[in-house]
Each structure stands twice: as C-alpha cells, then as structure tokens.
C-alpha cells in the first residue's frame, strides 16, 4: 500500500443505515447527507427498497456551519454541503420566481463560504408534472433555475453542475447541493443532446445541468457524480409505457456517460461499483427494474446490493424510471 492511499480521502460519500445517522452527525468532518427513509434529512419520497439508508458526505477539515438566506450550509474550507426547504404556499409567489430566489440563496452560500463551484444538486419539486398557468411545473422550475444561473453569472450551459430533479407528492420545495473550491470537469453523454441545449418544445428555458461531474481528487483519483439518467436519446423520450425498455435504455445511458468520463481521466470507473438511487414513477415497477439491474450488472454487484429504490415522479411525464449514481 502506498502512502497516498493512507492519506484521508478529501471527499468521501458513504452509504450507511439511516439509523446510524444522528450519531455520525457528530463526526467533525461530516458535511451532510441525503436520507432515504423516515428520518432527519430524508428525501420526501416513499422508499421501496428494504433498508432505510443515507448517503453521508464528508470532507477533511473541521466543519463550520451557517446560513445564507434560506440555505443551511456546512463546509470544511474545501467542500460545501447545502440544504434548502421552502414552503411554496407560504411564499405567495409562483414556482418560477421562487426557484429563482432559492437558487440566488444557493449562489450567496457559495460566495459566503468561498466554495464557489457547484458540483451536484438534488431537487425535489412537489407535483412536478402538474400544469400551472398553462405550463408544467417542471418547466416553471427550469425557467427559474436558468434565470438564477444567469443572474449569478454562473455557467448555465456548458460547465453546469450535475443534477437530479424529481417530483414528490407534497411538502416543501427541497434542494440539496455539493460544492467545492475547485470546478469539476463536466461530462456529457454522446447519445444525448446536452440538457441545456434541449429545444424549446421542452419548455421556454432549458434545464441547467451536465450529465455528470468528474471531481478530481489527489493523486490520480476521481469521484464521478452522475446526474439523474433516463430513457432519452438525442432529446427524445424513448419507449413510452414500456418500463423494461426504458430501464435498459437508462442503463445504456449510464454506461455511456461513465465511459465518457473515463476517457477524461486515468481512473477506471464501472457502474457495477457505483452507489445508485433508482426512482420509479409507479411502485409496482420496482421489482422489474431491480431484476433488470441484477441481470445486467450481476446479483453480486455493489450497485445492485446497495441500490436504493424510491417512488417519485420523473420530470418528463412520459418517463417511468430514472437512475442516478456516484462512484470513484
């Protein structure tokens, strides 16, 4: 073993039992986490997999915490975790304006902490596929998000962070994010039009995200944060109504974006070793998706054994499944 392997990893994510979470919050290097199941910091989406889990992100230094507007943050001088929850009904403004303000608070947090580069965001939007004032709420969300990036002078197109955006039944608009003092390498999927270049048929302003964020870690290591990935080729949703075909298309997209990331670094990366979160629109599709994952990656694969499955609305109404992943 070389000494570099003994050095503390500068950014780490560990998937662990949600029950262990309150204790681990005491760890000084812990930045934050995303819980799957009932508990603190949990995503408000029903969990379909067996055990309640949490993805706990930690840095290296002593953590400081604070607030910027409605964003609560923790950072160690190198990495930043932020969380924001907004009760839409209490604000009395439309979703687009609300998202624009929420993201302005996120950019204020980056300024306040010196962690200026967004790496990865998780967005949970109540009733995402419902229409409001003649436009789907996801499209309002996209407009507010892109405007906020432009307001802040942040890369709204090439260089955008990785992201997920899922629909939940109710509760607040909820955003979690990871940022750092150095920019990630944005990675696109050659099978897909970059989301920030989707044609206007998908809404007046395009989604602001890259397919993955490749985070360089010293020496010669990387973390790859893969955005929510679905059954889209070019800019078209494929296999309407067919959850099996959508799942296989999604796995192909995941493997393609991971291969594109590998071509940008010297690390070897494989989906079977990644932590995955699977979102299904219909709970009754969970077993089918799980079986296909098992068939393609092997029942013993880390990605299969550690997969978390949630019920959520995918942001395009014709998509039944979305998978996100991170690994190194």
CB 250 within 8 A of CB 301: no
User: Which range, of 16-24, 60-68, 160-168, 261-269, touches ligand 3EB by CB under 6 A?
Assistant: 160-168
Considering beta carbons, is residue 70 or 211 the nearer one to ligand 3EB? Answer: 211
Binding-site string for ligand 3EB from residue 25 to residue 54, where x marks contact by CB under 6 A and - marks none = ------------------------------
CB 91 within 8 A of CB 57: no
Q: Taking CB under 6 A as the rule, does residue 164 contact ligand 3EB? A: yes
Q: What are phi and psi of 281, to 5 degrees?
A: -65, -40
DSSP 43-110: -SS-B-SSS-EEEEEE-SS--EEEEETTEEEEE-SSEEEEEEEE-HHHH-S-HHHHHHHHHHHHHHHH
Considering beta carbons, is residue 10 or 144 the nearer one to ligand 3EB? Answer: 144
Which tokens in the block code for residue 291?
């079986």
**What distance lies between CA 312 and its chain's CA centroid?**
14
Number of residues interacting with ligand 3EB: please give it, by CB under 6 A.
12
Shortest Cβ 253–ligand 3EB spacing (Å): 8
User: Which range, of 71-79, 85-93, 163-171, 262-270, touches ligand 3EB by CB under 6 A?
Assistant: 163-171
Considering beta carbons, is residue 30 or 173 the nearer one to ligand 3EB? Answer: 173
Q: What CA–CA distance (Å, rounded) separates 293 from 272? A: 9
Binding-site string for ligand 3EB from residue 92 to residue 131, where x marks contact by CB under 6 A and - marks none = -------------------------------x--------
Cα R_g (the chain), whole angstroms = 18
Q: What is each CA distance from 126 to 143, 165, 168, 174, 182, in whole angstroms?
A: 16, 11, 5, 9, 32
Shortest Cβ 183–ligand 3EB spacing (Å): 18
Shortest Cβ 254–ligand 3EB spacing (Å): 11
CB 274 within 8 A of CB 225: no
Q: What CA–CA distance (Å, rounded) separates 320 from 318? A: 7
Considering beta carbons, is residue 63 or 106 the nearer one to ligand 3EB? Answer: 106
Q: Taking CB under 6 A as the rule, does residue 328 contact ligand 3EB? A: no
CB 141 within 8 A of CB 149: no
Q: Taking CB under 6 A as the rule, does residue 203 contact ligand 3EB? A: no
Considering beta carbons, is residue 68 or 253 the nearer one to ligand 3EB? Answer: 253
Shortest Cβ 314–ligand 3EB spacing (Å): 6
Cβ neighbours of residue 260 closer than 8 Å, sequence gap 6 or more: 187, 188, 189, 190, 211, 212
Please list every residue from 278 through 317 that binds ligand 3EB, using CB under 6 A: 315
Binding-site string for ligand 3EB from residue 212 to residue 251, where x marks contact by CB under 6 A and - marks none = ---------------xx-x-x-------------------
Provide the binding-site residues for ligand 3EB, judged by CB under 6 A.
Answer: 123, 163-165, 195, 207, 209, 227-228, 230, 232, 315
């Amino acid at each position: 073993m070389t000494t570099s392997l003994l050095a503390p990893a500068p950014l780490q994510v560990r998937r662990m039992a949600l029950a262990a979470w309150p204790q681990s919050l005491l760890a000084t290097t812990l930045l934050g986490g995303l819980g799957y199941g009932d508990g603190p910091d949990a995503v408000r989406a029903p969990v379909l997999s067996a055990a309640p889990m949490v993805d706990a992100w930690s840095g290296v230094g002593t953590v400081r915490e604070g607030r910027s507007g409605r964003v609560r943050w923790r950072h160690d001088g190198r990495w930043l975790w932020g969380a924001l929850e907004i009760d839409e009904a209490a604000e009395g403004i439309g979703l687009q304006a609300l998202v624009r303000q929420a993201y302005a608070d996120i950019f204020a947090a980056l300024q306040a902490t010196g962690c200026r580069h967004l790496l990865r965001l998780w967005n949970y939007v109540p009733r995402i596929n419902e229409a409001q004032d003649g436009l789907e709420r996801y499209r309002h969300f996209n407009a507010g998000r892109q405007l906020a990036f432009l307001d802040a002078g942040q890369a709204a197109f090439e260089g955008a962070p990785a992201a997920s955006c899922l629909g939940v039944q109710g509760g607040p608009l909820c955003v979690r994010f990871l940022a750092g003092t150095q920019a990630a390498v944005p990675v696109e999927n050659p099978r897909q039009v970059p989301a920030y270049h989707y044609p206007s048929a998908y809404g007046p302003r395009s989604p602001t995200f890259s397919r993955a964020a490749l985070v360089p870690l010293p020496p010669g290591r990387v973390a790859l944060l893969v955005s929510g990935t679905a059954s889209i080729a070019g800019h078209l949703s494929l296999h309407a109504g067919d959850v099996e075909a959508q799942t296989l298309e999604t796995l192909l997209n995941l493997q393609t974006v991971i291969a594109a990331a590998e071509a940008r670094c010297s690390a070897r990366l494989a989906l079977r070793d990644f932590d995955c979160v699977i979102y299904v629109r219909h709970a009754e599709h969970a077993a089918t998706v799980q079986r296909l994952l098992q068939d393609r990656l092997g029942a013993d694969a880390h990605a299969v054994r550690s997969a978390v499955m949630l019920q959520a609305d995918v942001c395009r109404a014709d998509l039944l499944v979305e998978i996100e992943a991170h690994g190194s």
